[in-house]
């Protein structure tokens, strides 16, 4: 049995046997600006099955969720693996690029019990909050783009024609993706927050990838989701597309705390 806080990207990966199912999830946004860290969505990985009380898997799980290496919250992400098949667990916890330290810790404290409430005894699953996501699985797929766990939440209100003509959200996002992943030598994780004045309005955006993505996969993941979910958000007044490997968001109001500052500097 071992615990490895893996900051390394492992390239040798267990083939995923899961059925390749394209999943299209359009979730209506219910989030409110005033809530600081709303719950967004969750998914229990039913195909991975459940564990029994008192099992080795449960012991491993308890250990992994309670043994966070020092500095994890400060850095804003952590990945740990523990045990051997069939009790092997991989856990990934990642805070949004501008969320670190106590805010990241507090997001974990919120997400952890909520995950176990929503996916009782499931061996795997993922829960998304505004400022962090928590993921468990029995399959180590670090470094690989996750195509199965992406979804879009958009503001029900449409953008005005006038505003749309000045800023097409898809193009704004694409611009941001290129900016976030342009420089050849930048190091993961990739995070970028941008704002752009359009007439009387300002569009605010953010794009980021999970820390295990290479620059190439980061761009591929973001570009794919910008294309794939276009119908969900192309003419909307705000939206977010979330996943395990990458996410982006735009609004016509600021949603990144300017004081917090980005954890990863812009290129
Ligand atoms: C991308 O970078 C260019 C050049 O620095 C800048 O003019 C543009 O506004 C950026 N795009 C976005 C969406 O922030
Ligand atoms: C939709 O967008 C408007 C304008 O940015 C904002 O005021 C409102 O809170 C948004 N609604 C939701 C549900 O996010």
CA distances from 203 to 11, 166, 174, 239 (A): 37, 11, 14, 11
Banded model confidence at residue 34, pLDDT cuts 50, 70, 90: very low
Tell me which residue has its CA closest to atom 2 in ligand 1. Answer: 179
Per-residue b/e over 197-231, b at no fewer than 16 CB within 10 Å? ebeebebbbbbbbbbbbbbebbbbbbbbbbeebee
CA 196, CA 50: separation in Å to the nearest integer?
47
How many other C-beta atoms can be found within 10 angstroms of the C-beta atom of residue 93? Answer: 23
β-strands 246-251, 89-95 pairing:
unpaired
β-strands 26-28, 151-154 pairing:
parallel
CA 261, CA 228: separation in Å to the nearest integer?
30
Banded model confidence at residue 193, pLDDT cuts 50, 70, 90: confident
β-strands 201-209, 246-251 pairing:
antiparallel
Tell me which residue has its CA closest to atom 12 in ligand 2. Answer: 155
- 108 touches ligand 1 (CB under 6 Å): no
Residue 219, token pair as written in the block? 């761009």
pLDDT tens digits for 63-85?
999 888 888 898 888 999 999 98
Tell the burial category of 67 from Cβ atoms under 10 Å away from its Cβ (0-12, 13-18, 19+).
Answer: exposed
182 Cα–ligand 1 center, Å: 11
Indicate which ligand has the atom closest to the C-alpha of 251.
2
- 179 touches ligand 1 (CB under 6 Å): yes
State which ligand 1 atom lies nearest to the alpha carbon of 192: 14
Domains defined along the chain, listed by start: 37-135 (3.30.430.20), 148-249 (3.30.430.20)
Indicate which ligand has the atom closest to the C-alpha of 163.
2
Classified as helix, coil or strand, 64 is helix
Tell me which residue has its CA closest to atom 3 in ligand 2. Answer: 237
- For 24, half-sphere exposure in the C-beta direction (CA atoms, 13 angstrom radius) is 6
State which ligand 2 atom lies nearest to the alpha carbon of 33: 9
User: CB–CB of 196/169 below 8 Å?
Assistant: no
User: CB–CB of 131/104 below 8 Å?
Assistant: yes
CA 88, CA 99: separation in Å to the nearest integer?
29
State which ligand 2 atom lies nearest to the alpha carbon of 237: 2
Q: Which of 32, 203, 237 to mutate to test the pocket of ligand 2 (most atoms within 8 A of CB)?
A: 237
State the DSSP H helix or E strand holding residue 108, giving kind and residue range, or none if neither: helix 102-118
179 Cα–ligand 2 center, Å: 26
User: CB–CB of 77/209 below 8 Å?
Assistant: no
- 180 touches ligand 1 (CB under 6 Å): no
State the DSSP H helix or E strand holding residue 104, giving kind and residue range, or none if neither: helix 102-118
Tell me which residue has its CA closest to atom 3 in ligand 1. Answer: 179
User: What is the pLDDT averaged over residues 179-205?
Assistant: 81
pLDDT tens digits for 92-136?
999 998 888 899 999 999 999 999 999 999 999 999 999 999 999
Q: Terminal CA-to-CA distance of the chain, rounded, Å?
A: 40
Provide the pLDDT for residue 192. 84
Judge whether residue 218 has pLDDT over 70.
Answer: yes
228 Cα–ligand 2 center, Å: 23
CA distances from 32 to 80, 83, 118, 240 (A): 32, 40, 21, 13
Banded model confidence at residue 256, pLDDT cuts 50, 70, 90: confident
3, β-bridge pairs? 82
Residue 61, token pair as written in the block? 């799980």
- 253 touches ligand 2 (CB under 6 Å): yes
């Amino acid at each position: 049995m071992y615990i490895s806080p893996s900051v390394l990207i492992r390239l040798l990966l267990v083939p995923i046997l899961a059925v390749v199912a394209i999943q299209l999830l359009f979730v209506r946004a219910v989030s409110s600006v005033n809530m600081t860290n709303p719950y967004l969505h969750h998914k229990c990985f039913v195909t991975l099955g459940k564990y029994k009380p008192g099992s080795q898997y449960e012991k491993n799980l308890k250990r992994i969720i309670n043994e966070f290496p020092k500095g994890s919250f400060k850095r804003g992400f952590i990945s740990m693996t523990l045990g051997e098949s069939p009790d092997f667990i991989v856990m990934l916890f990642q805070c949004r690029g501008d969320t670190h330290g106590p805010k990241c810790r507090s997001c974990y404290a919120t997400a952890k019990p909520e995950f176990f409430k929503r996916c009782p005894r499931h061996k795997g699953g993922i829960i998304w909050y505004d400022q962090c996501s928590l993921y468990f699985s029995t399959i180590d797929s670090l470094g690989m783009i996750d195509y199965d766990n992406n979804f879009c939440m958009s503001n029900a209100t449409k953008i005005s024609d006038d505003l749309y003509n000045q800023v097409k959200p898809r193009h704004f996002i694409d611009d941001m993706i290129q900016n976030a992943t342009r420089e050849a030598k930048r190091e993961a994780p990739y995070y970028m927050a941008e704002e752009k004045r359009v007439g009387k309005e300002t569009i605010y955006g953010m794009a980021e990838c999970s820390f295990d993505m290479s620059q190439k996969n980061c761009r591929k993941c973001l570009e794919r989701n910008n294309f794939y979910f276009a119908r969900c958000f192309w003419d909307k007044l705000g939206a977010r597309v979330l996943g395990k490997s990458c996410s982006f968001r735009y609004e016509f109001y600021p949603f990144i705390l300017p004081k917090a500052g980005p954890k990863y500097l812009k290129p």
